[in-house]
């Protein structure tokens, strides 16, 4: 799936004041807890490869909080391939507390100034802070216009992060001294969208917050004096925390560390949840557990769903010796293996992914050409076979079209039957997933006024030039994840958005026919239509 990408991921670590030493920090020491950040960021690199960064807190330094960030992978930004350079950098940014970020841009330019965390310098310690966030604001343009109504205010970037920077700054402006929870409570009333946020100020105070609907994931763990948080549980598990100590932060809740005191509080309440279902289907590391649901088991369950529907009306005789199941690497493997097991058909690695082909989704151009170099079909596996090709989802279909051609021509497959472990994507995401407009999506042009049917799937297959195409129905998602559909954000497969501004942007997208030339065109048009 080179057509769908997440915006970013966040981490945080804090060695609380204590005479005890954390076993996890034993190799770096309490005063160097920040050294753990690059290690954690590597585990969530799947969430963003464009840029990485870290802000650390050290009361003994003139720079009480200091930020290192740049364009590139975690290895590149922290120079991990060069031991002496990495050690020197980590020593320079050593501290008892730190926050970190990896980024893939859904908006904003691909330059260092957009890398996170964002740091705001100030003479007063409580106003000097740094933060990073994962998500996107559906009411970005409205907030931006409101800020710029004041002639003394200026915005230098086209990014949600700068909006949140100003919102945080305004909470601590003048003589105001709200607690971190109070500030978060006030800000949440103005934000429409998705966010998991990490914050650190020059007093050494930390805030970790998750949006009230829980759209974006956020996990945390605390053992003895060491606290850590991350977008995904795998970063905490690999750090050394016991599985039973790792929890998902409840939506609308925040963790604060003020004057060394650890506390969890609710800052906003909503009557429902709206966890992004794509975290389990595609985005999250397969080793992660989010909101008590295993990513691996959820993908396995999706494969069982595929098998159940296929068994009812198979496109290939299930006892045909030429039938095989092939996953599109890598996140389709769990679903493909489960489907193959249930149907009694061999699962084979018929496609090999080139892990060194570069960050093609970041480069953003020549999608079709890059898709040709991303996967290599194995003719020894595919030749003469009737292939069930299992994919996570189909967005624009560009990658799938190229892949099918290569499997036929280079792989020598006799038949290809595409099975998608997800319903058709019919609507854009306004909560942090880099997704096309409705007009650019593959499925909507076939659906128009009709519901999905075998006839429509056959037309899609003919367009892609494969022998058959089948999607999972919407109801399969909730069954596989084991969450009620009312607790999931499924806007991109249903057109039903969990927030007011998300719904408004979708209606605008439908009204304009998806005719947008930039990531923020929706919002610009919406303001012009409603002001």
**Catalytic annotation, residues:** 8
Asked if residue 61 lies in contact with residue 125, where contact means CB atoms within 8 angstroms, the answer is no
Other beta carbons within 10 angstroms of residue 484's beta carbon come to 10
SS3 for 339? helix
SS3 for 230? strand
Asked if residue 274 lies in contact with residue 324, where contact means CB atoms within 8 angstroms, the answer is no
The DSSP result for 400-446, as a single string, is HHHHHHHHHHTT--SEEEEEESSPPP-S--SSSEE---TTTSSSHHH
Asked if residue 302 lies in contact with residue 480, where contact means CB atoms within 8 angstroms, the answer is yes
Residue 163 makes CB contacts below 8 A (sequence gap 6+) with: 137, 140, 143, 144, 147, 155
Question: Do the strands 488-489 and 275-276 form a parallel or antiparallel pair, or are they unpaired?
Answer: parallel
Cα separation of 25 and 173, whole Å? Answer: 36
Phi first, then psi: give them for residue 98, nearest 5 degrees.
-165, 155
**292 token code pair:** 């008590």
- Name the strands in the sheet holding 323-327, side by side, starting at the edge strand that comes first in the sequence: 323-327, 386-391, 415-420, 468-471
Cα separation of 168 and 163, whole Å? Answer: 9
| Three-state DSSP string of 463-520 | HHCCCEEEECCCHHHHHHHCCCHHHEECHHHHCCCCCHHHHHHHHHHHHHCCCCCCCC
Phi first, then psi: give them for residue 55, nearest 5 degrees.
-120, 130
Closest of 205, 165, 184, 223 to residue 36, by C-alpha: 223
| Sequence-ordered strand ranges (E) for 202-341 | 206-210, 219-223, 226-230, 247-248, 253-258, 261-266, 275-276, 289-290, 293-294, 323-327
**474 token code pair:** 């919407």
Residue 437 makes CB contacts below 8 A (sequence gap 6+) with: 428, 509, 514, 515, 516
* R_g of the chain, CA atoms, integer Å: 24
Q: Tokens 């103005």 map to which residue? A: 190
CB hemisphere CA count around 472 (13 angstroms)? 29
Other beta carbons within 10 angstroms of residue 385's beta carbon come to 24
Per-residue burial over 250-283, b = 16 or more CB atoms within 10 Å of its CB, e = otherwise: ebbbbbbbbeeeeeeeebbeeeebbbbbbbbbbb
SS3 for 377? strand
């Amino acid at each position: 799936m080179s057509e769908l990408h997440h915006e970013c991921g966040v981490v945080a670590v804090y060695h609380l004041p204590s005479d005890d030493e954390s076993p996890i920090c034993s190799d770096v020491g309490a005063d160097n807890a920040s050294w753990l950040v690059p290690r954690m960021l590597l585990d969530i690199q799947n969430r963003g490869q464009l840029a990485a960064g870290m802000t650390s807190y050290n009361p003994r330094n003139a720079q009480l909080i200091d930020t290192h960030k740049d364009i590139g992978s975690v290895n590149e930004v922290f120079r991990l391939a060069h031991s002496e350079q990495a050690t020197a950098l980590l020593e320079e940014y050593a501290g008892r507390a730190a926050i970190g970020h990896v980024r893939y841009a859904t908006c904003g330019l691909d330059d260092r100034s957009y890398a996170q965390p964002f740091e705001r310098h100030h003479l007063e310690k409580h106003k000097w802070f740094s933060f990073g966030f994962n998500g996107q604001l559906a009411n970005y343009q409205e907030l931006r216009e409101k800020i710029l109504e004041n002639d003394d205010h200026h915005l230098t970037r086209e990014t949600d992060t700068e909006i949140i920077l100003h919102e945080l700054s305004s909470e601590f402006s003048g003589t105001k001294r709200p607690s971190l929870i109070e500030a978060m409570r006030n800000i949440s009333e103005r934000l429409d969208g998705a966010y998991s946020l990490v914050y650190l100020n020059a007093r050494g105070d930390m805030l970790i917050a998750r949006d009230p609907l829980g759209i974006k994931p956020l996990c945390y763990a605390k053992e003895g004096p060491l606290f850590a948080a991350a977008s995904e549980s795998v970063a905490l598990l690999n750090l050394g925390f016991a599985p039973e100590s790792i929890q998902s932060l409840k939506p609308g809740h925040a963790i604060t560390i003020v004057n060394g005191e650890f506390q969890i509080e609710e800052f906003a309440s909503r009557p429902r949840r709206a966890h992004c279902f794509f975290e389990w289907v595609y985005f999250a590391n397969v080793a992660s557990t989010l909101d008590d649901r295993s990513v691996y088991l959820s993908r396995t369950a999706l494969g069982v769903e595929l098998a159940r529907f296929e068994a009812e009306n198979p496109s290939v005789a299930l006892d045909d010796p030429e039938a095989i199941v092939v996953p599109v690497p890598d996140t389709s493997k769990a679903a493909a293996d489960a489907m193959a097991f249930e149907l009694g058909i061999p699962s084979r690695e018929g496609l090999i992914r080139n892990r060194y082909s570069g960050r093609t989704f970041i480069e953003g151009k020549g999608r079709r050409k890059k898709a040709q170099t991303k996967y290599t079909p194995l003719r020894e596996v595919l030749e003469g076979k009737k292939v069930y090709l299992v994919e996570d989802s189909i967005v624009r279909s560009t990658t799938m079209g190229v892949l099918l051609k290569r499997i036929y021509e280079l792989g020598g497959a006799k038949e290809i039957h595409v099975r998608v472990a997800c319903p058709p994507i019919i609507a854009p995401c306004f909560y942090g997933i880099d997704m096309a407009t409705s007009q650019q999506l593959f499925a909507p042009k076939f659906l128009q006024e009709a519901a999905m049917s075998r006839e429509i799937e056959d037309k899609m297959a003919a367009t892609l030039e494969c022998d058959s195409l089948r999607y999972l129905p919407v109801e399969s998602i909730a069954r596989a994840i084991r969450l009620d559909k009312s607790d999931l954000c499924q806007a991109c497969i249903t057109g039903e958005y969990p927030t007011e501004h998300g719904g408004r942007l979708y209606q605008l997208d439908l009204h304009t026919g998806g005719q947008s030339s930039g990531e923020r065109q929706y919002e610009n048009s919406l303001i012009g239509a409603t002001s």
